[in-house]
């Protein structure tokens, strides 16, 4: 954790300055501004004074010793749980709405029971190179205010909501880590989200990225550190305590597809425990993501799966931690200067975004926005 707390990002946005504008005025790089806003880089005296002058404030207002500022108090209020809702657990997410004098709380469904957001409909079947004709609903929209992100972390939806204030939209394509990186390599997406842990070194993502992309062709920006582990039904009725229990005859799992970080974690832990995957009931049964896997546990179709702590809290499931790992955003360096990409990185350092993501549980956002490569 940083020894310095900073209000640099808040004041910059309040003054209406872009990160690159402030970086130029202070004589540093834009990435240095992001690092200072994230609290991962402490400027020297000259830089701190230049920043204070540009922002018309004092160095003391910009930077303080960690712990010298009181932790923000979250407002607490009594709310009425919407009748018909399932029993909620402590830490489970709800949405609020004032209905006359009552503050109503509705637990959002982790399964989207509504039509997906759409801009067009397919007019004919795909042809060569996957091209197809689409009929577009909006007359004028050229879709240049959007960022196409491929990945598997449900927390990206939080980032999507927060960038909307700047008129930026994220188009989220659900893909596992390996698939997301392949799409980025093919030039099909702006950003790939990944959590592929190298077993030999214990390093998150960078070894695999180094094998896929030419040196210095991509940038890697940290999104958050999350916990991944075993999800079981509430109360853990099967008394599952570790990967060793996956070989029991009375335990059935749902697995993830090859190329996903969760599949790689499961395989490595089975190998470490000397368990043959053929002895694991449900090993060949696949779910296309953290949320679909957790849904099968919640409905009782299976006894357990591997997913993140945040997903466990969404469904109100029991969680047994296995590993903490970093989820990174990978982007081509030639896209770094696009204004909408700069805004995306700005958002990673915002306190309101970090607070919401951390509130979901299992996310450590102290690394959010840090340049890893």
What number does CATH give the domain 4-65? 1.10.260.40
Spatial distance between the Cα atoms of 13 and 17, rounded to a whole number of angstroms? 6
Highest mean pLDDT among 36-40, 55-59, 137-141, 332-336: 332-336
| Domain map (residue ranges) of the chain | 4-65, 143-373
**C-beta separation of 182 from 150 below 8 A:** no
State percent of the chain over pLDDT 70. 94
**C-beta separation of 32 from 41 below 8 A:** yes
The size of the chain, in residues, is: 373
pLDDT tens per residue across span 244-296: 999 999 999 999 999 999 999 999 999 999 999 999 999 999 999 999 999 99
Task: Kindly state the DSSP code that residue 151 receives in the 8-state scheme.
Answer: E
Taking 80 as the threshold, does the pLDDT of residue 125 lie above it?
A: no
The H or E element spanning position 25 is helix 19-26
From the CB of residue 124, how many other CB atoms can be counted at a distance below 10 Å? 9
Mean pLDDT score across all residues of the chain: 88
Side-chain half-sphere CA neighbours of 171 within 13 A = 11
Spatial distance between the Cα atoms of 58 and 51, rounded to a whole number of angstroms? 9
What is the fold, at CATH topology level, of the domain defined by 143-373? D-Maltodextrin-Binding Protein; domain 2 (3.40.190)
Tell me what pLDDT residue 69 has: 47
Taking 90 as the threshold, does the pLDDT of residue 238 lie above it?
A: yes
> For 63-77, 161-175, 269-283, which range has the lowest pLDDT when averaged over its residues?
63-77
The H or E element spanning position 35 is helix 30-38
Spatial distance between the Cα atoms of 318 and 239, rounded to a whole number of angstroms? 11
Tell me what pLDDT residue 74 has: 66
Instruction: Give me the helices (H) in 107-216, please.
Output: 156-163, 177-185, 206-212
């Amino acid at each position: 954790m940083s020894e310095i707390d900073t209000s640099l990002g808040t004041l910059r946005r309040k003054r209406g300055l872009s990160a690159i504008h402030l970086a130029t005025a202070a004589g540093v790089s834009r990435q240095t501004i992001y690092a200072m806003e994230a609290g991962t880089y402490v400027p020297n005296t000259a830089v701190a004074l230049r920043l204070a002058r540009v922002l018309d404030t004092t160095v003391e207002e910009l930077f303080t010793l960690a712990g010298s500022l009181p932790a923000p108090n979250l407002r607490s209020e009594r709310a009425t749980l919407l009748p018909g809702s399932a029993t909620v657990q402590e830490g489970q997410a709800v949405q609020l709405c004032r209905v006359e004098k009552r503050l109503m709380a509705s637990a959002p469904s982790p399964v989207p029971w509504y039509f997906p957001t759409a801009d067009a409909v397919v007019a004919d079947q795909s042809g060569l190179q996957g091209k197809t004709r689409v009929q577009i609903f909006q007359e004028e929209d050229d879709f240049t205010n959007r960022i196409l992100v491929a990945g598997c972390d449900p927390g990206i939806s939080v980032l999507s909501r927060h960038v909307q204030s700047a008129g930026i939209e994220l188009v989220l394509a659900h893909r596992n880590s390996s698939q997301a990186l392949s799409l980025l390599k093919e030039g099909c997406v702006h950003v790939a989200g990944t959590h592929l842990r190298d077993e030999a070194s214990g390093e998150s993502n960078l070894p695999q990225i180094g094998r896929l992309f030419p040196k210095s062709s991509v940038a890697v920006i940290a999104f958050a550190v999350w916990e991944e582990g075993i999800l079981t039904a509430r109360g853990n009725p099967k008394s599952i305590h570790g990967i060793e229990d996956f070989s029991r005859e009375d335990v059935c799992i749902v697995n993830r597809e090859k190329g996903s970080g969760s599949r790689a974690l499961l395989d490595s832990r089975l190998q470490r425990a000397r368990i043959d995957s053929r002895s694991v009931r449900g090993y060949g049964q696949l779910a296309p993501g953290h949320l679909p896997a957790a849904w099968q546990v919640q409905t009782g179709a299976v006894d357990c799966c591997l997913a993140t702590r945040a997903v466990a809290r969404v469904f109100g499931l029991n969680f047994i931690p296995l590993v903490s790992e970093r989820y990174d955003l990978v982007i081509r360096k030639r896209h770094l200067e696009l204004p909408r990409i700069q805004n995306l990185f700005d958002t990673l350092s915002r306190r309101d975004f970090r607070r919401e993501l951390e509130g979901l549980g299992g996310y450590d956002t102290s690394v959010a926005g840090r340049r890893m490569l």
